[in-house]
Amino acid sequence: MGSLQLKSIRKAFGGHEVLKGIDLEVKDGEFVIFVGPSGCGKSTLLRTIAGLEDATSGSVQIDGAEVGHVAPAKRGIAMVFQSYALYPHLTVKDNMGLGLKQAGAPKKEIDEKVAKAAGMLSLEPYLARRPAELSGGQRQRVAIGRAIVREPKLFLFDEPLSNLDAALRVNTRLEIARLHRSLKATMIYVTHDQVEAMTLADKIVVLNAGRVEQVGSPMELYNRPANVFVAGFIGSPQMNFIEAARLGESEAKTIGIRPEHIGLSRENGDWKGKIIHVEHLGADTIVYLDTEKVGTITVRLFGEHRYAEDETVYATPVIGGMHRFDADDRVINSGQ
C-alpha cells in the first residue's frame, strides 16, 4: 500500500497555468523528491496530491483509487510543512494525536501511537509542552511525529528543512532517511536544495515551469541528464556549458562538462587559459579560468592545490565526461 499515480495534472490560477500536464508514477515504499527552482510548481503539485488544491484537470490516484474529490483528511496522507504548522494552543501530545482524535480513534490507541512515534523521534520529555516552548528542530520533529502517528499511505514533506540552521538540517535529514528505512513508507518530498534531493531520494523528479524535465535516480540524473536544464540544475558547482562550434562539433549545439571532469596541468593540455579566481574549500579546490578556446570555465579539483590567480594553466576534459546537447537543448549522446 502507498502507491501514487498522477495523470496529466494541470493547474491554473486564473489564466496563469502553473502545472502543465504532469504524469508521474510512485511505487510503494519509494522516496520521491520533487526538485526545481522556485516557482516551478513543485509545492502546488504536492498540495494537489494532498487535496489542498484541486487540479484544474487530470487525475490523482492513491493505491489505485481516484481521490480527486476526496477530502485531504480521507486520502490517507500526512503532511509536514516548512513552517511546522503546529497548533499553538495544544501540547505536543495533543498536536500529534489530533488527527486520530478527529477520526474517532479510541483514547488508548491514540496514546499508544503517540508514545510510539515520540519514542522514534526521542520526543518523550517534551510531550506535555506547548510548541512555543520548543526549539526549531524539536518543533519540526513534532511535526514529523504528527505525520507518523497517522500511519499514512503517503508522507508529504513540503521543504521541511528550510527553516532549520545548517547543522540541524543535516541531523534532521539523517533522521528522515532513517525513518524512511524503518517505516518503509512512501514519501514525497519537495525541496529546492539539490543536496537534500541527491542524498535522500530513490527517485528525483526535476520540475521546471510546470513541466517534468526528467525523472530518475540521483546518479542517473547526475550521469545522464536528459537536457540542459537538468544538467545545469544537478551538480555543484554548475556544469560548464560550451558552444559546440568552438570545439568543432557540428551535430551538437552545446557541450556540457562537469567541473570535476576537467583536469588541470601547468605543463600541457587541451585548453590553455589564465586563472581568474581560486576557491580553497579544503576538500576541494575550485578554479575559475579564462581559456582562449572555450571561454570561462570552472574546474573542481579534489584536495588542496596551490594554484594562484593570473597563473597560466592547461585544462583537459576527462574522456567520456562530455554531454552533448542539440539545438532543442536535449541530450544527443550522454557521456558513457
Binding residues vs other proteins (CB under 8 A): 47, 50-52, 71-74, 77-79, 81-89, 98-99, 102-103, 130-134, 136, 139, 146, 150, 158, 163
Take residue 205 and report the three cell numbers written for it. Answer: 523528479
Q: How far is the CB of 62 from other proteins (least distance, A)?
A: 14
36 closest CA partner among 236, 206, 261: 206
Q: With respect to other proteins, which residue has the nearer C-beta, 35 or 96?
A: 96
* Closest CB to other proteins among residues 52, 245: 52
Q: What is the DSSP string of 288-319?
A: EEEETTTEEEEEEEES-----TT-EEEEEEPT
Neighbour count for residue 312 (Cβ, 10 Å): 10
CA distances from 136 to 63, 183, 223 (A): 34, 24, 36
Q: Which residues contact 111 (CB under 8 A, 6 or more apart)?
A: 97
The least distance separating other proteins from the CB of residue 38, rounded to whole angstroms, comes to 16
**Nearest approach, Cβ of 97 to other proteins (angstroms)?**
10
CA proximity to 231, closest of 266, 258, 264: 258
Quick one: which of 263, 217, 245, 255 has its CA closest to 334? 255
Instruction: Report the nearest approach of other proteins to the CB of residue 87 (Å).
Output: 7
What is the residue-wise DSSP string for 110-171?
Answer: HHHHHHHHHHHTT-GGGTTS-GGGS-HHHHHHHHHHHHHHT--SEEEEESTTTTS-HHHHHH
Query: Nearer Cβ to other proteins, position 103 or 219?
Result: 103
C-beta of 26 vs 142, nearer to other proteins: 142
Using the minimum distance from each CB to other proteins, give the nearer residue, 132 or 283: 132
Phi (first) and psi of residue 51, to 5 degrees: 90, 10
- What is the closest distance, in whole angstroms, from the C-beta atom of residue 22 to other proteins in the complex? 20
| Burial class, 33, CB count within 10 angstroms (exposed 0-12 / middle 13-18 / buried 19+) | buried
Least Cβ distance, residue 6 to other proteins (angstroms): 19
Residue among 111 and 270 whose Cβ is closer to other proteins: 111
Provide the 10 A C-beta neighbour count for residue 53: 17
Please say which residue, 112 or 133, places its beta carbon nearer to other proteins: 133
Nearest to 188 by CA among 32, 26, 5, 25: 32
CB of residue 243 vs other proteins: minimum separation in angstroms?
A: 45
84 versus 241: smaller Cβ distance to other proteins: 84
Task: Please report how close the Cβ of residue 136 comes to other proteins at its closest, in angstroms.
Answer: 6
